Structure 1
Amino acid sequence: MAVADPLLFNATLLGPDPLLAESRRLAIEYLTQFMLKHRDRRFVLILYHLHGHWVTIAICLDVGGVTYFDPLRRKENEPQRDFEPIKYVIDAAYRDAVKWYGMPNFSRNRDAPLRHTFNFPYEQQPEGSIYCGYYYAHTIQQMINDFKLKGKKTFEEVRNWFLANAELGHNSEILVYEIQKDIGEILNKEVLKSSRDYYGGGIVAKSG
């Protein structure tokens, strides 16, 4: 699994306005190279900032599936979120990676489009809460813990796992506490010296 830099994936920078053409181009170029670099990963994740709300987007290059994990998913009778700007970027980056850089397509048909699932059932945060940042951290944590490469989970198995767990319910306060605790442990381990002072140089996070 690889997580793209969220700096470029902001809805306010990717809309159809001609003034945003340069930011869209940069996002497409970055994501194209990111897909190429991590083409052998099970999932490529994008953390998408949508007007004050975070949504985790999982791209499975093997099967051409793109799933949107929205912890404040809109009900069917409500106006749906506009994911068209980020969909355009993802589709364009994928086409460029296949057409210009020879990345294998998931289908024998090199022109086969990615399949986007926007309203995927997913664990929901309480209405009016501001927990979405914790939920995308929770999604990443779940994928790391439960879908390691040695497990050989398929894309459908991962989706089915999330579907099942979305129905179980959860305690958001406990979830937030656990994420905060994990982040605190990372900060203590990677940022602070044993003397409790901050390191002066760069931060290197160990993988695994």
Structure 2
Amino acid sequence: MSEPPSLKKPKKVPLPNMLVPSLKEKKEMSGSITLLLKHKGDKIKEATNVKVPVAVHDHFNRMARPLAPKPPISDFRRTTRKKRLKEFSKKEFEKDEANKNVQEFLEGAGLQSLSDVDNIAKSPLAAQFKLGYSLTTDEYRKVIGNCTQMRRVEEWYLQMAKEGKVMFPVFYRDEDFHHCDGIVWVPFKELFQLYNLKEVDLSLIQLWVLMGALECRTTHNKLGFLDPQIVNSTKIEGGEKSEKEVLDYLYTSFVKLQDMNTILLPYHFKPHWILLAIHLNDSKIVVMDGMRTPQAKFQSLVDTLDKALVKYKKRIQHAPCSNTFRVWCHPYCSRQDPGTSTCGFYVMKFMRVFMEDGNWNITDSEKLKLPTSKLLPHVCFSLAKQLCGFIVTHIISSNGAYNISRAPAGLMGLIEAGGPSDTLDSRSMTKDT
């Protein structure tokens, strides 16, 4: 068995190169400490009558004086310094901006340096519209080929293109847009945009509004629509005369649509589309926007709507109490990816939700159940199929509600002229009786 460890403290061994004090030095050190402890409470007498040298007096007197202010620089030096600083800061700012742009470009392209630019793969050019050629591209040819309505519209377009026509007319009545009868001219180029899921132009949005107006009248849905050709940023910001035209149209439409639960206004301000759901009874506007645009971008429209509301309130006895609209941007709607140009499809989708059920409370998010994600391509194609079905049934067909053969004699001059011009207005001044 091993012996237990010893309880004795080990002897301290001095470290190498360490001076060990002698016994005499230890006694002197102990005595000095004892003397200090004995006179601990005694007051130390201050030295008096000590002469301070004059140089020391002068030194501390100079230190106590405040610093003299720096003399101002001359106007010439100030001007040259300011100019030099401006040039320097501008050059540094431009240099930083250039470096930032280069860095963003490299990160977006997946490159390490600008020397790798030659290694970027060249993307094919986007297909362009050519009159007389197919509306479909190789990317969506298979999808469109399975849709009967879209094929019929394309076949009809090819036949019209052989006759040299670049657009087709659509007749509408006062009950659709709440102003005099007129014609919407739709370029075939816009059909190319629709077939390839690109930006949707004004004429196609007008066709979608006509489809919604006809459907709501058939189903007795209390949903009204406004003409985006009259109410848009170009008209509102185009001067006093054009703004008055918009104001008069809004006032007349409010009077005609006072029994409607909701009035839909697709509004365009370059380069974006939004949908405004107007509730006259409680003076409320609900904005449905895929890009969540700030209200300041379309504040001019809100101001014009407020003016129309004031005129409407003077005319109607049971008008709302408020003189201005309360604007609420709806958060529960599909969100559009930044940098894309499919806002027209989002407006069409929002309007379709109202057309299917326009009696629910739009502020009730649980009942609304709108997705907040982006619209997938198959959803956009379903909207395009519905619009093409409307074109085949109600525009191309001779018995269609919006076929040009139903236009009054006053509008036939536009058809014979071959399209709209600067001297011809697409809206007639006389209604068809």
> Which residue of the other structure, out of 363, 370, 387, is the alignment partner of 1:156?
363
2:298: which partner in 1?
83
1:142: Cα distance to partner?
0.7
2:269: which partner in 1?
50
Residue pair 2:226, 2:265 contacting (<8 A) in 1 also: yes
1:120: which partner in 2?
330
Question: SS in structure 1 opposite 2:405?
Answer: coil
2:230: which partner in 1?
8
> Which residue of the other structure, out of 292, 295, 306, is the alignment partner of 1:73?
292
1:62 counterpart = 2:247: no
2:370: which partner in 1?
165
Distance 1:20 1:112, change over 3 A: closer
Residue pair 1:4, 1:44 contacting (<8 A) in 2 also: yes
Deviations 1:94-120 (A, max 9, x none): 110111x2252233xxx5422112x33
Q: Which runs of 5+ in 2 are unaligned?
A: 1-222, 408-433
Distance 1:138 1:103, change over 3 A: farther
Residue pair 2:310, 2:323 contacting (<8 A) in 1 also: no
1:68: Cα distance to partner?
1.2
Distance 1:104 1:160 in 2: 31
Residue pair 1:97, 1:103 contacting (<8 A) in 2 also: no
Distance 2:267 2:259 in 1: 22
1:92-111, aligned counterparts within 5 Å? 92-99=307-314, 101-102=315-316, 104-107=318-321, 111=322
Question: SS in structure 1 opposite 2:370?
Answer: helix
Distance 1:160 1:86 in 2: 30
Distance 1:23 1:123, change over 3 A: same
1:82: Cα distance to partner?
1.6
The alignment-based identity, stated in percent, is 20
Distance 1:95 1:180, change over 3 A: same
1:153: Cα distance to partner?
2.4
1:41 counterpart = 2:260: yes
Question: SS in structure 2 opposite 1:28?
Answer: helix
Residue pair 1:67, 1:116 contacting (<8 A) in 2 also: yes
Distance 1:87 1:143, change over 3 A: same
Distance 1:66 1:50, change over 3 A: same
Distance 1:8 1:200, change over 3 A: closer
1:206: which partner in 2?
none
Question: SS in structure 2 opposite 1:116?
Answer: strand
Distance 2:279 2:232 in 1: 21
Distance 1:153 1:120, change over 3 A: closer
TM-score using structure 2 length: 0.39
TM-score using structure 1 length: 0.77
Residue pair 1:45, 1:56 contacting (<8 A) in 2 also: yes
Distance 1:140 1:115 in 2: 21
Distance 1:22 1:161, change over 3 A: farther
1:199: Cα distance to partner?
5.0
Distance 2:273 2:396 in 1: 28
2:47: which partner in 1?
none
2:357: which partner in 1?
146
Distance 2:375 2:345 in 1: 13
Deviation >4 Å, runs of 4+: 159-162
2:405: which partner in 1?
201
- Residue type matched to 2:303 in 1? Y
1:187 counterpart = 2:391: yes
Moved more, 5-14 or 37-46: 5-14
Distance 2:251 2:403 in 1: 34
Question: SS in structure 2 opposite 1:83?
Answer: helix
- Residue type matched to 2:356 in 1? N
1:177: Cα distance to partner?
0.4
Deviations 1:123-146 (A, max 9, x none): 112222211111111111110112
